[in-house]
Structure 1
Amino acid sequence: MGSALWLLVLFGIAAAVALFAGNNQGSVTLFWPPYRIDLSLNLVLLLLAASFFFVHAVMRALSALFDLPRQALRWRTQQKERAMHGLLLDAISHLLAGRYIRARKSAEAVLAQEASLTASAQEPANSAQLRAIAHILAAESAQALQDRSAREEHLKGALEQASARDAQGTRDGAVLRAARWALEDREPDAAMELLKSLPQGAARRTVALRTRLRASRQAGQPMEALETARLLAKHHAFSDVAAISIVRGLAIDLLNGAYDVAQLQRAWASLEPAERLVPEVAIHAAQRLMALRGDAQLARDWLLPVWERQASLSASLRVKLVGALEEGFDSLDGGWLARIEAAQKANPRDATLQYLAGMACMRRQLWGKAQQLLTQAALGLQDATLHRNAWRALAELAEQREDATAAALAWKRAAGE
């Protein structure tokens, strides 16, 4: 459609020119004394048009001629920039391939090429960002080669270049890399200081939080590590299973850092409600409280949510729960005894519950019932520690009855003979 319209326009112009030129009787007379020159108006118009196009062509040719040096300079600059970008790609490729010496040389070649262009007043676009990235690549290679002085020198250069307006985003990357290098050198305090220098938005990125988590764990700061792990879990930086495992381990580390009952209670209070319901955490907290000679009733209160769902726990966790409860049996109250008896009656063939109920009855001086439950438990317990404790308790009960034969047999069973 467009071509057809152009043809129509051209035909119209041709028709208009033909009508004008065909009937044009005008003439142009030039007086050049003593001469007189008569020319057709159509010829004059054609000569004027030809002169215009000729002058225009001459001016274009002269402009192109005088522009050759500038074009040659631009071509050389483009070649240098292409070579510089090729060296940058080589540096990245060598770094990924583990060829650190070549990566470092390529990055330093990029810096040299860029300095040459800048010195000749041909500074490339985004030059500050380019220099910063080259410095980071060289520093990364130096870190892999254990050349700490070169790494610090290039890191300083990267941070200086990243302060420019067109390289602000690169500064965060340089700081994060420096924090990672500090962790590799086992310097968590230096890594934490670097992370604190990040803007608030950058400090909440997943990579920054992961680095902070590693730094706080290396520095032995379980509370800081736990708070960071919570943020990472909210950001879905881990799978659900991994998040639970990491938070559980950090919560246990936090509890292990308490060296008196007051510290332990503060550590327990700093945990979130969901974390206190984790069986491993609650059991460990109760065991830690008993090891610090704390209140057994408080330990049982911490264990109560876990006890209420003890039927769904794994065998190993149930054994740990029984051990934690057993440590506070000296002050066992009637309410807990009723809970234990109710659980044992609800599952009478469970050897672990038989053992727990038997030990509770023994501490409450219910000798006959304790002997019955412990005898049944001793025959079915799979855990070696509980099995040994059950026979030891039976031996003590036999000695109390002055049954030397039964006591000797129980002691032998407890010794594993």
Structure 2
Amino acid sequence: MAVGVSLTARVNDGYLLLIVPPYRIEVALSLAIILFVLAFVLLFLVLRTIGLALSLPSRVGGYRARRRREKATASLHEAIRLLFEGRFSQALKKAGEAYVAGQDPGLAALLAARAAHGLREPEKEQEWLGRVNNPRLDPARLMLEAEMAIDHEQYGEAVSVLQALQNISGRHIAALRLELRAQQGCGNWPEVLKLARVLEKREALAPELLQEIKTQAHQEAIRQQQVADEGQLLAYLRAIPAKERSLRLTHTSCQALLEHGVDDEAQRMIEKQLDLQWDSDLVQLYGQVRGRDLTSCIARAEKWLPQHPEDAQLLLTLGRLCLQQRLWGKAQIYLEASLSLVDQRAVRLELARLFEQTERWDEAMPHYRAAAEQVALRPATPLLRLAVSSAQQLQSVPRLPG
């Protein structure tokens, strides 16, 4: 290109005449073109420099704003990382920096509230929660409020918050899990059962854990006597689905039946459960049955004996049943057999009662003393020790011939 320009300039004999009175300027056309181009470039550079100088403040401001946004974003990301690491104090600091910088302030406030909760600072929790003003974050805020309320054992407040959440975003699995914990804390066992069944359908918790939760809910509902009379108790127990029944629940149910005087139903339930699964504690409860046909109870228990000959609770139960039927000889045999396996206070007391009813006072007293000594050996309050000592003194007083 340079060669072409030089050749063109050599063959070009034209010139440019400029007349500015009283001056007359004659310039070669090639030189004039070169000067014109240089002037244009110079003018462009001057104007460009002036433009850059005038825009410099806004460019500096934009750069600083961009740096602030980058720093705020980094602080927000750092707060999330520190929160997951459990470094709550530093997470709170970084979230506060992001909030002040205006980088997603709602999310930054939520992170700060969660970090404050980890530091066990309730005032800061509420302060930061109050700064979450973005309606888009309302479900997240309510979830966090419910979790905090549960951790502070404010279960009623947690239930109210979760109901508000349900009105906004429905009942998703995480909210149902929180509500389950809140209802457990409130002792609202019918609602606990409903939630556990919903979570079971959605496969949201381990089956073993759900079974344990449902068993506990049934047990507490029975213990709190939310079913007041005999009819309601029977209706409640019969309404329990078969897959929710368990050994522990059977034990609690039978205790409630015996307390309500429904011994025949308790007897039937215990026998059915023991045929499925043997349990010594349930066998002991069988000995408390006061049914109309104790003879059949004794016969049933004696059928179990060959399969469990060294079960001390079964022998104790047989002894108690025989005592109720006034079968003194058999009762003594079973009770002494149980005592030979395990020295239990309950067996001592039953033997003492047997000897009293057969007017064998001298044989009853050693068992009373042994039972009292077993109580005294347990960790007890001074008041209980005093009661045991008094009982032993009373037992040492000779009986008047009756």
Say whether the fold is shared (TM-score over 0.5).
Answer: yes
Q: Which residue of 1 aligns with 2:134?
A: 162
Contact 2:215–2:248 under 8 Å retained in 1: yes
Report the equivalent of 2:264: 296
Q: Is 1:92 paired with 2:80?
A: yes
C-alpha distance in 1, partners of 2:331/2:284? 25
| Residue 411 (structure 1) shift | 4.2
Residue 204 of structure 2 corresponds to which residue in structure 1?
Answer: 237
**How far does the alpha carbon of each residue in 1:67-112 deviate from its partner, in whole angstroms, 9 at most, with x for none?**
322221111011112222233334334444444333333333333x
Q: Give the equivalent residue in structure 2 for 1:24.
A: none
1:148 has 2:148 as partner: no
1:210/1:377 Cα in 2 relative to 1: closer, same or farther (>3 Å)?
same
Relative distance call for 1:283 and 1:152 in structure 2 (3 A) is same
How many corresponding residue pairs?
Answer: 334
Other structure's SS at 1:204 match: coil
Normalised to the residue count of structure 1, the TM-score between the two structures is 0.61
* Match of residue 135 from structure 1: 109
Check if 1:385 corresponds to 2:316. no
Q: Distance in 1 between matches of 2:128 and 2:304?
A: 72
What per-residue deviation string (whole Å, max 9, x for no partner) do you get for residues 340-388 of structure 1? Answer: xxxxxxxxxxxxxxxxxxx6xx248xx9xx49x7388178334332121
Q: 1:216 aligns with which of 183, 202, 205?
A: 183
CA distance in 2, matches of 1:375, 1:321: 13
* Whole-Å separation in 1 of the counterparts to 2:169 and 2:261: 45
Are residues 395 and 219 of structure 1, via their aligned partners in 2, closer, same or farther at CA, if it must alter by over 3 Å?
Answer: closer
Choose which of 264, 270, 278 in structure 2 pairs with 1:315.
278
> 1:66, CA displacement in angstroms?
3.3
SS at match of 1:197: helix
1:236 partner SS: coil
TM-aligned CA deviation for residue 142 of structure 1: 2.9
Equivalent position to 2:93, from 80, 95, 105: 105
Distance between the aligned counterparts of 2:286 and 2:173, measured in 1? Answer: 38
Distance in 1 between residues matched to 2:26 and 2:242, nearest whole Å: 110
2:89 & 2:201 partners in 1: Cα distance? 41
Change in 2 beyond 3 A, CA 1:314/1:50: farther
What amino acid sits opposite 2:62 in the alignment?
A: R
Deviation at 1:179, TM superposition (A): 1.3
Q: Indicate conservation of the 8 Å contact 1:287/1:324, yes or no.
A: no
Pair 1:208–1:53, CA change in 2 (3 A): farther
- Change over 3 Å in CA distance of 1:218–1:39 after alignment to 2: same
In structure 1, the residue matched to 2:57 is 69
Deviations 1:269-309 (A, max 9, x none): 764x3545555445543442332224735984x789x65xx
Please state whether the residue corresponding to 1:315 is helix, strand or coil: coil
Q: 1:139 aligns to what SS in structure 2?
A: helix
Q: Report whether the alignment pairs 1:194 with 2:194.
A: no
Counterpart in 2 of 1:412? 336
The 1-side partners of 2:43 and 2:147 are apart by 67
CA distance in 2, matches of 1:49, 1:291: 113
Residue identity matched to 2:209: A
* Per-residue deviation, residues 3-42 of structure 1 (Å, max 9, x unmatched): xxxxxxxxxxx9xxxxxx9xxxxx99999899999999x9
Tell me the distance in 2 between the aligned counterparts of 1:144 and 1:244. 31
Cα 1:387/1:149, change in 2 over 3 Å: same
Superposition RMSD in Å: 4.6
Asked whether the 8 Å contact 2:146–2:159 carries over to 1, the reply is yes
What TM-score, normalized by structure 2, do the two folds share?
A: 0.63
Bigger mean CA deviation after superposition, 386-395 or 239-248 = 386-395
- Aligned equivalent of 2:292, options 309, 330, 335: 330
- Name the SS of the counterpart of 2:292 in structure 1: helix
1:215 is displaced (CA, Å) by 0.8
Whole-Å separation in 1 of the counterparts to 2:191 and 2:229: 20
Q: For residue 198 of structure 2, what is the amino acid of its counterpart? A: L
How far is 1:155 from its partner? 1.4
Deviation at 1:190, TM superposition (A): 1.1
State how 1:24-43 maps to structure 2 within 5 Å: none
Structure 1 pair 148–220 and aligned structure 2 pair: CA distance change class (3 A): same
Pairwise CA distance, 1:407: 5.9
Task: Please give the alpha-carbon distance, in whole angstroms, between the structure 1 residues aligned to 2:251 and 2:329.
Answer: 38
My pick for the range that moved more, 197-206 or 67-76, is 197-206
Equivalent residue in structure 2 for 1:78, among 66, 74, 78: 66
8 Å CA contact retained: 1:395, 1:410: no
Contact 1:329 1:363 in 2 (8 A): no
Aligned to 1:119: none
Partner of 1:154, secondary structure, is: helix
2:390 paired residue number:
none
Gaps of 5+ in 2: 2-7, 9-13, 344-402
The verdict on how the C-alpha distance between 1:203 and 1:39 changes in structure 2, with shifts beyond 3 A counting, is same
Q: Residues 309-364 of structure 1, C-alpha deviation per residue, up to 9 Å, x if partnerless?
A: x66x4432x86389569837426xxxxxxxxxxxxxxxxxxxxxxxxxxx6xx248
Q: Give the unaligned 5+ runs of structure 1.
A: 1-13, 15-20, 22-26, 115-123, 332-358
| Fraction of identical pairs, as percent | 20
